[in-house]
Chains A and B, each alone.
Chain A
Amino acid sequence: MSQLFLRRVVAVWFAAIYALIGLPLWYKLTTIYRAPLPGEYVSSLRENMHADVHVVVPVYVRSDTYKFPDIHRAIQAQADALLRSKPSTIDWSLQVMPAEKNQTLDLESDYVLTLVLDDFTGYAIPYDSKETVVFFDDTAVLSNDVPFFAAQTLIEHTFAAEWTHFSGSTSVQDENTLDIDSEMVISYSPTMHLSLSLLTGDGRPVAWDIESTLNQYFTPLRRFLSPLVNFTVDTSILPFNDLNLGSLHDVQDPSWQDLAHSVDLSELSSINHYREKNVVNLAIVFPSPEAGQLAFINATQDRPWQSFMVPQWGALVVNKEALPDNARITQDYLAPVIYSFACELFQFLGLSSEKADLSTPYTTIDSFKRIMTLKNLEQGVETLWSLVKLTNQFPQMSVPKRVLADVERAVELRLQAVELINDPKQGNEAIWNEALRLSNDFVQVCERAFFHKEMVQQNFFPQEHKIAVYLPLLGPISVIIFTGLIKALREKHGDDAEDHLNGKKSLKFDSDKPLQSEDTS
């Protein structure tokens, strides 16, 4: 083996170890840890948002006078046909079942359709239960209209909210998502804070009979809404704050726009240390006597105030006149204010739009639970998708294991919730409460994953630092290895013969030397 060849092999080996083992090892040891997120799964979830969801609501049919042995099948068929008639965002259907004889139905937790023989056809939905009463006459039975009529009543009236939101997909921009976003709606969370403030423009003492008013008018509402949202409530009196309404006094004939532009809610919004994520505010404002009366307020003697809604913040009750001296605001004043606020509260929660009334609170709240559960699922998936997109966009960003664990947990929660929703045998209130809770947890876990602080922190650690630190070592070694390799490769073959001889000589020389030294020793 020629010496040149040997030297070349050595140089190539060095370069190969450097390039094939050293560099990958260095890269591996110095790269930022990025947990493998299930990106494809998340993006497929987002593309087919509710593909695996099929909402099934069981309805029990009972008939008091006639026995219809197969009425539930007929209603089922009619209901399915009706639902198919409209394109739906989310698959949903009713599971119509006959009420067994011995089965006791709880009207407050199960949907019950009661068929009542009467002189006319019609329906009624009582406000204190989840019962739907359908009245029919004998002609309807003869012409076999009862199943269609029952199905129509159920879908278009009892499940009106689902009918509009799940089936009536009016939004153009995205067919896959629910659209219940009114600009008023404060994003849903299971606990909310309610902050009621009484603001006066001056420092004179004021009092209000708020405790008794709230206990009488607001406690029932809190109890009623408790499966959906739990409120914590505080009230406060804030003197010397008229939300800058005093500045409108000088304006000639101020308009609503002026009001919108001059109202200053910063102080009310900034001093909150509530533990709840979302806050709904009610501010009752009295101008100061110096500011004079607010001419634009459409007030009457028994109702000297006007209510305004501030999107995603709360309600503003503006009074026309300043308070009299030493005033105690009585329940007579506060009750209409609280009532009006409660109506607005439903809008802030997204429970009702401006048109809808709450004549059937039981079914409305139940429907709202369903819509919110699905909305939550949607929101969580969007968050996960944003997380995946973010990590893809910033290749330098670290993705800690915790984030991966959270994402996995979120996906698991979502599957649990979907499983509950899809089960046709379980559709009672407890199941929906559970599904709502799961979906709330899902949203929370998704957000925890998204807002993991290490991800952002590491993103500001520039890659150049790594180069700067390692260059003093890697630079010289690279230069040595590669120039050595090139030199060895470029050495001419002409030299080789000579080298070969010389090599032999030198080898001999080399091998002689130790022998000599051995001899001498």
Chain B
Amino acid sequence: MRANLVCLWAFIAARNSIAVNSIDDELVIPNETESAGSADQTCSILKSSNSPENNTYTVGKKEREEPEIVEELEIGLDGDTKINAVLFSNETIIKYPFGEELTLKPLPRNFMLASFAFELQSNNFTVGKTESAYDTYRHYTVFPKALSPILEYTQTRQLHLRFTHGRWDAESWGQLPHNGTKSGGNGVELWAVVEAGSQHEAFENWIMLANSLSGLFCSSINFIDVEKTTYPVSSFQPAEERTIPIFNSSNQAYLLRAALANEPICTENLTPFLKLLPTRGRSGISSLLDGHKVFDSNWHSLSIDVETSCNGDTCQYQMEENIEMVFNVPNSLARADNPIPKPVRDSDLQCDESKPHDSWECFPLPQSKHTNFQLSKLFGKKILGSNLISENPSKVCAQVSDSWTVYVGIDDDLFATDDNCFTIKNDQLHDIHLKSDNTAHLKECEDVPLFVSRSLTGYGQDSGGLRTVFSNPSNESVQAIYFESLPWYMRLYLSSLKIESDAGLEIGDVIKSTFYLPAIDRERPTHLEFNITIPAETTLALTYQFDKALLKYAEYPPDANHGFEIESALVTVLTPIHYEMRTTTLLLSLSTPDFSMPYNVIILTSTVMGLAFGTLFNLMVKKLVTIEEADKKASAKVGLKAKLIAKLKKLKGKGDKVNQLKKDQ
């Protein structure tokens, strides 16, 4: 059996011996006489053993424009048979499952949302085939090779990662893009569906996943631990239309979630995002993305969603990557013109002329409603052609009202379309021109179904409170799930839950069901999920109290006085529309010890002990005498002091005598 397997191999091996002659510092080059064109090599291709001498080569013309031309070679063999060895064929058009789109949406007050969306799919892989099986080969084309092994060895079936920073002004900008499902709270947020035999195993996989992602995205995701991880019950649920494939039928799927509040997000997080794309930021719309510009925005969100979908035993990963940001257009343009801010010349000042104005005093006019700018100025670069690998060429769309005109600029030509969507073609440089006479006239922003804000109340270092205000502006009642995960050092009293409402609502009217998993010190965070209904046009507030726990000496972070970031709460609106939003993060200040105190305590205690011991020791070792004896001894021993005293007394005595004499006289 084995002999047959080896047969082919050994046969080839016996005929060839690769000789390596020269070795330089880094590379070893096979002997050049052996390296190319020997028929021994082609024998293995053609699986015949003809003599090498009479090979003739004819190679087709190399003209890249002609699609039919193939580099080919014909090897004349002993007889008349000719076998064509085609090295590169181009009969089929190669396309990969990849799509990218950039959406530009002007927002009120000269803001603009730029939303980059990428979609890609992995190659198929078969469930239940071990990697080390002899005929198992994993192939990667567009799906990132860096991500796939992580998902496999942690048995992750769904992965959702969010990097978000900034404030989304919901009152003015309306709904978040993608109904809020693609943006997290301030900082980093991660949730995943992990397949495992037990919750313990799921948690181990989860920690492994977090550590691996931490390395991949250059971020502190590895700080996710048992204190931060929750198992959401009704929030973060995978979309219903997708079933989660379970590879081993004795296993279960576990949903785990954790967030790192206010984790700084920077260029080093964007670079891995670009590296995951098959275009690597070198072509297509991703060529616009530059850390300096992305993180200069008022709000930005980077997200990745990977889902596993299976058809029988054949599975594949589907990945969506979104990079979204909101610019203040005038500010960004000004910064592009003038990277170092300088005061405006007085001649360039636009002052409100109805008010007093001179070189020192100026009330600025409201911002101009006219705008005319190019995307290349906003991002610092032009779009470097389309992605060439996908069926769908890269696309740029602008969602604007009639007051705006949008052109695509290729070289010096400008083109416009009816729907303001442009297809990027080939590898030419593209630029988008946006022009408007009335920047305030925009496409209608969709209203947010619910406003939520959360804040800390109370003062002092031993207790506090949380107050969450829900406000439903619409005339429909809103049903939602409120999810909150609080660290264990906020000792929550659910009994103190109160409702403040002008409409006189009771808790039972608002909170339909509660899931509450109390925290365990250093082992579990507080996990709270409310199923709430907010009646139409109502504002209400939920408050509850908590105690602040004392941390151990070593549990304080290096900047202990900064306070502790509390992650944002999630509100998932179920009706009337599906929408997700998050509150802002909070900064909780705990009582922070004076860190030199332990040493002070040591010193103080030691001193007391030293004093006690000294007294005891002296009692036992020193000589005990009565006072009389001591006095006697002191008088017997005439010391220097005694002599001095005696002399002084003498002097005094003389003086007294003299005085007496004087008095007498």
Q: Which of these, A191, A215, A359, contacts B14 with CB under 8 Å? A: A359
The closest CB in chain B to the CB of A338 belongs to B44
Provide the bound-state CA to CA distance between A333 and B388, in Å.
Answer: 23
B67 at the interface (CB under 8 A from A): yes
Question: Total A-B pairs in contact (CB under 8 Å)?
Answer: 293
17 sample A-B contacts, Cβ–Cβ < 8 Å, listed by A number:
A127-B6, A211-B139, A232-B132, A257-B24, A325-B64, A326-B67, A328-B89, A331-B45, A354-B19, A357-B17, A358-B13, A362-B6, A473-B602, A476-B613, A480-B617, A484-B618, A506-B624
Q: How far is the CB of A482 from chain B (nearest CB, A)?
A: 11
Q: How far is the CB of A206 from chain B (nearest CB, A)?
A: 7
Provide the bound-state CA to CA distance between A323 and B139, in Å.
Answer: 20
Which 10 residue pairs are nearest across A and B when measured between Cβ atoms? Answer: A476-B610, A260-B26, A472-B606, A236-B140, A128-B3, A473-B606, A300-B37, A234-B138, A354-B20, A333-B87
A472 contacts B603, CB within 8 Å?
Answer: yes
B135 contacts A215, CB within 8 Å?
Answer: yes
Provide the bound-state CA to CA distance between A215 and B212, in Å.
Answer: 31
A310 contacts B27, CB within 8 Å?
Answer: yes
Q: Mark B133-159, 1 if CB is under 8 A from A, else 0.
A: 011111111000110011001000000
Contacts A354-B18, A472-B603 hold; do A330 and B86 have CB atoms under 8 A apart?
yes
A249 at the interface (CB under 8 A from B): no
Neighbouring A residues of B67 by C-beta, 8 Å? 325-326
By a beta-carbon cutoff of 8 Å, the part of chain B in contact with chain A is 2-3, 5-10, 12-14, 16-30, 32, 35-37, 41-42, 44-45, 57, 59, 62, 64, 67, 69, 71, 73, 75, 85-96, 131-132, 134-141, 145-146, 149-150, 153, 212, 216, 275, 278-280, 282-283, 387-389, 599, 602-603, 605-607, 609-610, 613-614, 617-618, 620-626, 629
Provide the bound-state CA to CA distance between A362 and B18, in Å.
Answer: 19
Neighbouring B residues of A14 by C-beta, 8 Å? 617, 620-621
A1 at the interface (CB under 8 A from B): no
Q: How far is the CB of A319 from chain B (nearest CB, A)?
A: 10
Q: Mark A327-352, 1 if CB is under 8 A from B, else 0.
A: 11111110110011001100100000
B149 contacts A357, CB within 8 Å?
Answer: no
A235 contacts B87, CB within 8 Å?
Answer: no
Q: How far is the CB of A168 from chain B (nearest CB, A)?
A: 21
Provide the bound-state CA to CA distance between A330 and B83, in Å.
Answer: 14
Q: How far is the CB of A445 from chain B (nearest CB, A)?
A: 22
Neighbouring A residues of B17 by C-beta, 8 Å? 355, 357
B27 contacts A308, CB within 8 Å?
Answer: yes
Q: How far is the CB of B22 from chain A (nearest CB, A)?
A: 8
A332 contacts B613, CB within 8 Å?
Answer: no
Neighbouring A residues of B136 by C-beta, 8 Å? 232-233
Contacts A311-B26, A484-B617 hold; do A324 and B90 have CB atoms under 8 A apart?
yes
A461 at the interface (CB under 8 A from B): no
A230 contacts B94, CB within 8 Å?
Answer: no
A223 contacts B134, CB within 8 Å?
Answer: yes
Provide the bound-state CA to CA distance between A198 and B379, in Å.
Answer: 32
A467 at the interface (CB under 8 A from B): no
Neighbouring A residues of B140 by C-beta, 8 Å? 234-237
B88 contacts A506, CB within 8 Å?
Answer: no
Contacts A309-B20, A324-B71, A472-B606 hold; do A224 and B5 have CB atoms under 8 A apart?
yes
B90 contacts A309, CB within 8 Å?
Answer: no
Q: Which of these, A217, A361, A477, contacts B13 with CB under 8 Å? A: A361
Given contacts A303-B36, A472-B606, 20 further A-B contacts (CB under 8 A): A7-B623, A14-B620, A184-B28, A205-B96, A211-B137, A223-B5, A223-B134, A237-B141, A239-B279, A298-B32, A302-B87, A308-B29, A310-B27, A324-B71, A325-B67, A328-B89, A328-B90, A335-B45, A354-B19, A480-B617
Provide the bound-state CA to CA distance between A472 and B149, in Å.
Answer: 56
Q: Which of these, A203, A222, A340, contacts B18 with CB under 8 Å? A: A340
Neighbouring A residues of B388 by C-beta, 8 Å? 203-205
Q: How large is the interface on A (under 10, 10 to 19, 20 to 34, 35 or more residues)?
A: 35 or more
Q: How far is the CB of B568 from chain A (nearest CB, A)?
A: 30
Contacts A306-B29, A357-B13 hold; do A480 and B94 have CB atoms under 8 A apart?
no
A206 contacts B94, CB within 8 Å?
Answer: yes
Neighbouring A residues of B389 by C-beta, 8 Å? 203-205, 239
Contacts A240-B280, A274-B149, A326-B94 hold; do A306 and B88 have CB atoms under 8 A apart?
no
Neighbouring B residues of A299 by C-beta, 8 Å? 36
By a beta-carbon cutoff of 8 Å, the part of chain A in contact with chain B is 3-4, 7, 10-11, 14, 108, 127-129, 183-184, 191, 203-207, 210-211, 214-215, 217, 219-224, 226, 230-237, 239-241, 256-257, 259-261, 263, 271, 273-275, 289, 298-304, 306-311, 316, 321, 323-333, 335-336, 339-340, 343-344, 347, 354-355, 357-359, 361-362, 468-469, 472-473, 475-477, 480-481, 484, 487-488, 499, 502, 505-506, 509-510
Neighbouring A residues of B26 by C-beta, 8 Å? 260-261, 263, 310-311
A240 contacts B282, CB within 8 Å?
Answer: yes
B19 contacts A355, CB within 8 Å?
Answer: yes
Provide the bound-state CA to CA distance between A304 and B71, in Å.
Answer: 10
Contacts A234-B140, A306-B35 hold; do A339 and B613 have CB atoms under 8 A apart?
no
Provide the bound-state CA to CA distance between A129 and B266, in Å.
Answer: 61
The closest CB in chain A to the CB of B38 belongs to A303
A203 contacts B13, CB within 8 Å?
Answer: no
Q: How far is the CB of A283 from chain B (nearest CB, A)?
A: 12
Neighbouring B residues of A256 by C-beta, 8 Å? 22, 24, 27, 29
Contacts A220-B6, A237-B141, A307-B30 hold; do A7 and B13 have CB atoms under 8 A apart?
no
Q: How far is the CB of A460 from chain B (nearest CB, A)?
A: 15
A207 contacts B132, CB within 8 Å?
Answer: no
Provide the bound-state CA to CA distance between A233 and B618, in Å.
Answer: 81
Provide the bound-state CA to CA distance between A487 and B620, in Å.
Answer: 13
A273 contacts B625, CB within 8 Å?
Answer: no
Provide the bound-state CA to CA distance between A329 and B89, in Å.
Answer: 6
Listed residue (B5, B29, B89) with the most chain A CB atoms within 10 angstroms of its CB = B89
Neighbouring A residues of B13 by C-beta, 8 Å? 343, 357-359, 361
